[in-house]
Every structure is written in C-alpha cells, then in structure tokens.
Amino acid sequence: MTRLGFVLDSGSCIGCHACTVACKSEHEVPLGVNRTWLKYVETGSHPQTDRHFSVMRCNHCEDAPCMSICPTNALFRADNGVVDFDDDNCIGCKACMNACPYDALYIHPETMTAHKCNFCNHRVTEGLEPACVVVCPTQAIRVGDLDDPTSELAQLHASGEGLVRSPEQNTNPRVIYKNANPASLDPLASFIANDGMIWADTTPGHPTATPVALGAAPKRDDGQEMARTTYTTAHSLTWGNKVAGYLVTKAVAAGTMMMAALLTVLGHGDSQAVVGVVPPMLAGALLALTGVLLVADLKQPGRFYYLITRGNWESWLVKGAYLLGGFAALTAAWWIVGLTDTGSVLPWLVAPTVLLALATAGYTAYLFGQCEGRDLWQEPILLPILLWQTVVGGGAAYMLMALVMDVPEAATLQWVFLAGLVANALLVAVETRGKHSRHVTMAIADLTQGGQKGLFKIWVFAGIAAPVALLLVALLLGGNGTIPAALAGASALGGLLAYENAYVRAGQSVPLS
C-alpha cells in the first residue's frame, strides 16, 4: 500500500514561483486559476519584519471532503493514495470547491469541470517526480510515502513536528509543512491591507479578513499578532443567486403542501380547489423551478442526469435529488386525488407528504454540512432554521392564494404563518448573537455588518418586521384581513430571498488560504 504526500519546506522556499510555472506548463493551466501557488506573509513591524513563503495546493486528505460531496465520483482515490479527478464524470456543481478547506479546486474555464493538483499522477505512475519537485531550485518540495516509516513525510507526521493547514477540519492532510510560520498557513492569522504597498492590490478577488470581520474577531486563536498577506491568489464566489433561489423555491413548495396537509387534518380535505388541486400545482411548478435553478448552476448542465446514472450515495446532492423527485411524485399523486374529488383519500397522503416536505426543506442542512470549508453552513441551528422557513414559505403562499380563493381556517393559517416568522427570527437571533469559532464569527460579521448588511436588513424589515405587523392587523380585522395578510406573504417571500442570498454569500466570505 502507498499513501503519497508532500513535504513543503517553507524554510527553504525562496518564493521564486518555479513550482507554479512548472505546474501551469505541465497541465496547461489557464491564467486566472492555479493548481499550486505561492502565498507571501509578512510578520513583525518595520524595521523588524520577516517575509515567509508557503506553497498552497491540494492536501490529498485521508478524509477528503471533496470526494464525499462529489455527486458523480469525479473525484476519486488513486491506488497510490492521491486524490485525482475525472473530467468525464464532472458536472461542474462546484460543491467540491465549498467542501475543500484549502481553496484547492477551481473550475477550468475551457472544460468547465473541476481541476486541482493531482500530484502529477501521470508522471508518478511512470516513475517520474511531479513537475514542481523537478524544478524547485532549493528542493523545498519533496515527495514522501506515509506508509514508509523511514520517509521524511512519515517521520514529520509521526513526530508532530510538521504543520498542516486547518487541522481543526480533521481531514488528515498528506501535505506536511516544515519550518513554516503558522501565520502563513492559517488564513485567519493574516489580512490583506489595500494601502498601495507592493503586491497589496494584486489579489482583489481573494476573500480576506475585512475590517468588520477583524473587529468582530480581533484576536488570533493562538494569541499572536495579526500578520500581513502581501501576495496570494484570487478565489471567487462559488455559489450565488441560483443556490439562494433554490433554497426559497423548495421551501415554498414544501411549505405549501404542509399547509394543505394541515387543512386536510382539520377536516377540509373535501375543499377541492384550495386543498386538493391548486397547492400541488403550485408546489409542482416551484419544484420544477428548483430543478431548473439547480441545473442552470451547473457548469456542465447537459450532464445533470449523471446524478442518477453515476451517483455517489455519500453526497447529499444525490440524496437531495432523490428526495426532490420523491416529493414531486407524491405532489403529483395529491393533485390526481384532488382532481378526482376524492377528499376521503387525501388523509392517507398527509403523513408521507409532510415527511417528504420536511426532508425536501431540510436536506440542504446536511449538504451544507458536507461543505467543510464553510463553517457558517455547518452550524447545527441551520436545520431548524430551514424547517421554520418552510412554514414561512407555506404560510406566505396561502396568504396570496386567499386573494383569489376562499381559504378555510384563514385565521388558523395566519397564526401558523406568524409562528413561523417569529421562530425564524428567534433562531437567526440566536445564531448571530451566540459565541462561535473565529471563522463563524467573521462570517456572521459579514452577514450582519459587512458585505451582506444591506440584504440582511431587507430580511429584518421586509422579511420579519413588516409581515408580523401586517399579520397582526389581519388577525385584528378577522374576515376582512385578507389584503394585509397577502401583503405580509409577499413581503415575507421577498425578505426570505434576501436572507438566503446574504447567508450563502456570507458563508463564502471567510478566506480559506
């Protein structure tokens, strides 16, 4: 058995970029993306300063989160232990990029598939060394085998003298750093100061510790002074509007069917239009839109069916696809029953419909939990937030339906909608005001005070405060409160979309390299 890895000797590295150039040449890596790159960090204060160089790349982890989340097994473990990739299997979902705590993956602008350092496996299998090892003038990059106890890599690993990046992620990296300054390996131990100094304005696309984030988490975990990142590479946003939109569409679809199920339990299963026909039609349309958003977000949308034909059952992307499909099938069954006006059958569909609705709404918490690089998304409170957002989405949908239809138990649904809004607000308040790791603290600072502050405020006012006030008015008006309740629904949906956009972006705001 072989478990190949790298020793990266930062004490010997002179920052010449030969490894970066050799890697680009060997693999025809385009400009703007990198399989391997250098990071420069400065410590101390003038005139007593030091500059440290560290090579950044895939860590070929023992417990590789990119492999677990990859829905089509495009990332796989080679016989020599290297984490390699297969272009022909990749659908370009970018999940691996969020799962990797090391910024190691990128989307190739020509193949539109995920690429990264693969240890020059085509060379290694032929008995040659990786290109970066061959060109390094100071032999700062060395290959080792963890299964060979005499190798430098194995000895550094066993003795604990070597350092690894982000050890708290428990991925067990096979890239061991020797003579490295911890500030160059910890992305939260340094910041980019855009003050016109040399190199400082060359990496605008790289997430860095903003003043707001630093103010929220002013001290390093190790108690040392913050260092200064003077050179690194750009790593752009991976998931954006489409992922945020999909969170909303499936929440509203699931919530609509849950409200229809509630009305059925309350004895209104024979209300054909408002319980049996229109809700599954609306939910079906929203589920279809969910699928469109997911496929549109792929860099290889024509391969979307690989989720089924080449699915990796470790990935919650695959599990989620089946849950969405199952919920869509059950929604169609509800619609058929509703069309035939057999209200006596609907109660039998209530339990499975509610269970699949909850699964549809909540599985994203487990998908985001596989994104090891995004600590905000891994907070356990995400699941209850998603479930209560479903109540909000369903309540909002029924408030709007009441404008054109006679909705039974309108006051009851308004109270349920109100409960969803209040619960959602309280859960987010707990999340944003609690004590967290430095990474999560900085992401929450971006969410509430930094780059996403505007969207977050929209959610606070349009997504919570306004709907709550309008619903209270509607409840006071009783049977004449249809219009304020509908306005509450429209406002809540707009606020929910703003929140999801802010949340998805804030999770990706904290630097990983």
Overall residue count recorded for the chain in this entry: 513
Same domain membership, residue 426 and residue 376: yes
What are the pLDDT digits (tens) for 346-363? 999 999 999 999 999 999
User: What kind and span of H or E run contains 265?
Assistant: none
What are the pLDDT digits (tens) for 199-215? 544 455 556 667 787 77
Share of the chain above pLDDT 90, in %: 82
Identify the pLDDT of residue 407. Answer: 94
Q: d(Cα 178, Cα 11) in Å, to the nearest integer?
A: 7
Asked whether the beta carbons of 397 and 250 are under 8 A apart, the reply is no
- Domain assignment of residue 106, yes or no: yes
Identify the pLDDT of residue 362. Answer: 97
Query: For residue 62, what is the domain's CATH number?
Result: 3.30.70.20
Asked whether the beta carbons of 381 and 430 are under 8 A apart, the reply is yes
Report which of residues 153 and 257 the model is more confident about: 257
What are the pLDDT digits (tens) for 318-350? 999 999 999 999 999 999 999 987 768 899 999
Confidence band of 197 (pLDDT split at 50, 70, 90) = low
What residues contact residue 111 under an 8 Å CB cut-off, 6+ apart? 87
Give the end of a domain, one of 174, 202, 231. Answer: 231
Identify the pLDDT of residue 345. Answer: 87
Residue 502 pLDDT greater than 70, yes or no:
yes
Asked whether the beta carbons of 484 and 472 are under 8 A apart, the reply is no
Asked whether the beta carbons of 493 and 247 are under 8 A apart, the reply is no
Q: d(Cα 318, Cα 368) in Å, to the nearest integer?
A: 13
Same domain membership, residue 29 and residue 80: yes
Asked whether the beta carbons of 492 and 463 are under 8 A apart, the reply is yes
- Domain assignment of residue 20, yes or no: yes
The residues with which 447 forms a beta bridge, in sequence order, are: none
Residue 164 pLDDT greater than 90, yes or no:
yes
Asked whether the beta carbons of 102 and 512 are under 8 A apart, the reply is yes
Identify the pLDDT of residue 202. Answer: 45
Calculate the average pLDDT of the chain: 93
Same domain membership, residue 392 and residue 254: yes
Asked whether the beta carbons of 396 and 492 are under 8 A apart, the reply is yes
- Interior angle at CA 229, CA 84 and CA 222, nearest 5: 90
Range of the domain at 436: 241-507
Residue 313 pLDDT greater than 70, yes or no:
yes
Same domain membership, residue 252 and residue 131: no
Angstrom CA distances, 446 to 98, 375, 456, 496, 503, stand at: 17, 13, 10, 18, 9
- Domain assignment of residue 513, yes or no: no
Same domain membership, residue 276 and residue 223: no
Q: d(Cα 25, Cα 27) in Å, to the nearest integer?
A: 6
Give the end of a domain, one of 179, 204, 231. Answer: 231
Backbone angles phi, psi at 230, to 5 degrees: -105, -15
**Range scoring the smallest mean pLDDT among 71-75, 168-172, 194-198, 473-477:** 194-198
Same domain membership, residue 158 and residue 75: yes
Identify the pLDDT of residue 123. Answer: 96
Q: Total structural domains in the chain?
A: 2
Residues 149-156 have a mean pLDDT of 91
Asked whether the beta carbons of 274 and 403 are under 8 A apart, the reply is no
- Interior angle at CA 340, CA 336 and CA 342, nearest 5: 105
Residues 472-501 have a mean pLDDT of 95
- Omega cis (within 30) before 187: no
User: What kind and span of H or E run contains 53?
Assistant: strand 48-57
Residue 96: which of 87, 106, 86 has the closest Cα? 106
Residues 23-52 have a mean pLDDT of 90
Identify the pLDDT of residue 325. Answer: 97
Asked whether the beta carbons of 144 and 5 are under 8 A apart, the reply is yes
Same domain membership, residue 333 and residue 195: no
Identify the pLDDT of residue 356. Answer: 98
Same domain membership, residue 249 and residue 181: no
Share of the chain above pLDDT 70, in %: 96
Same domain membership, residue 337 and residue 271: yes
Q: d(Cα 16, Cα 72) in Å, to the nearest integer?
A: 37
- Domain assignment of residue 512, yes or no: no
Identify the pLDDT of residue 201. Answer: 44
Query: For residue 372, what is the domain's CATH number?
Result: 1.20.1630.10
Same domain membership, residue 249 and residue 137: no
Same domain membership, residue 372 and residue 298: yes
- Domain assignment of residue 361, yes or no: yes
> What number of CA atoms fall less than 13 Å from residue 238's CA on the CB side?
26
Q: d(Cα 270, Cα 116) in Å, to the nearest integer?
A: 57
- Domain assignment of residue 389, yes or no: yes
Query: Checking phi first, is residue 73 left (phi over 0); if not, alpha (psi -120 to 50) or beta?
Result: left
Confidence band of 235 (pLDDT split at 50, 70, 90) = confident
Residues 34-40 have a mean pLDDT of 93
Same domain membership, residue 218 and residue 313: no
State the maximum Cα–Cα separation within the chain, in Å, rounded to a whole number.
Answer: 83
Identify the pLDDT of residue 215. Answer: 77
